[in-house]
Amino acid sequence: MPICTLIVCVLYSMFVCLYMRLYPSSGDIAVPFSQSHNLSVALNYLNIFKLLNIFMFAFIIIVVVVVIILIIIIMLIIHIITVSSIISFTITVTPPLSLLTLLLRRRDGISSVLTFKLRREEEEEEEEEEEEEEEEEEEEEEEEEEEEEDPSIGIDSYILFELMIFNVGGHDNLVGLQYFVIIACLFELLQ
């Protein structure tokens, strides 16, 4: 917007200067061509100008255009410098800030490479622990199956039962037999 207002002011001043050169006797400058003259008359009168005045007029226009172009170029350069400085500032400042935020954030909400690696390692460790637990459970189940399939336990309990019967009262003592049958059944249940 400042550039547009500058251009309008320069063009209006050029127009006023041209009007004053064309009509030096006219005192009304603020309202150009307000008398009986129009633009065609002014252009016809411009043809009568001397060559030097025409060159001076063209020189003024060229100078004004060059100044406007220079102002635009300078503003563009300033804009580019500020944008590049902002970009360099963000490049130099954001990595440590991003690392800080990554360290302070919860692990569930982070999708960076570091947290992905940490997560992957944790998952591998959990899988290894689960495999070890499964192996231990399988080993325990195999030991339990071996103990169930081992006939020596039943034989030992049967021998103990027979010894207890023969040591107390012999075969004729039915009360002792019933008593030791109950004890043997309890032993079998406990095993």
Any idea what DSSP says for residue 109?
G
Q: CB 32: neighbour CB atoms within 10 A?
A: 19
Nearest to 43 by CA among 12, 18, 64: 18
Tally of CA atoms within 13 A in the half-sphere of 189 that contains its CB: 6
Any idea what DSSP says for residue 49?
S
**Range 146-163 average pLDDT:** 53
Q: What is the pTM of this model?
A: 0.25
Task: Look at residue 154 and tell me whether its pLDDT is greater than 50.
Answer: no
pLDDT digits (tens, 9 = 90+) for 56-79: 677 778 888 888 888 888 888 887
Confidence of residue 139 (pLDDT cuts 50, 70, 90): confident
Nearest to 46 by CA among 56, 63, 36: 56
pLDDT for 34: 46
Return the domain boundaries, the chain.
2-104, 107-149, 151-191
Confidence of residue 89 (pLDDT cuts 50, 70, 90): low
> What does 128-150 look like in DSSP terms, one character per residue?
HHHHHHHHHHHHHHHHHHHHHH-
pLDDT digits (tens, 9 = 90+) for 102-129: 555 544 454 455 566 667 778 888 888 8
Confidence of residue 164 (pLDDT cuts 50, 70, 90): low
Sign of CA dihedral 31, 56, 49, 7: negative
Task: Look at residue 44 and tell me whether its pLDDT is greater than 80.
Answer: no
pLDDT for 129: 85
Q: CA 135 to CA 6: how far, in whole Å?
A: 86
The overall average pLDDT reported for the chain is 64
In this structure, what token pair is assigned to residue 23?
Answer: 């009509």
Is 68:7 a contact under the CB 8 Å cutoff? yes
For the ranges 18-22, 47-51, 53-57, which has the lowest average pLDDT?
47-51
Q: CA 159 to CA 15: how far, in whole Å?
A: 133
**Range 17-34 average pLDDT:** 52
pLDDT for 31: 43
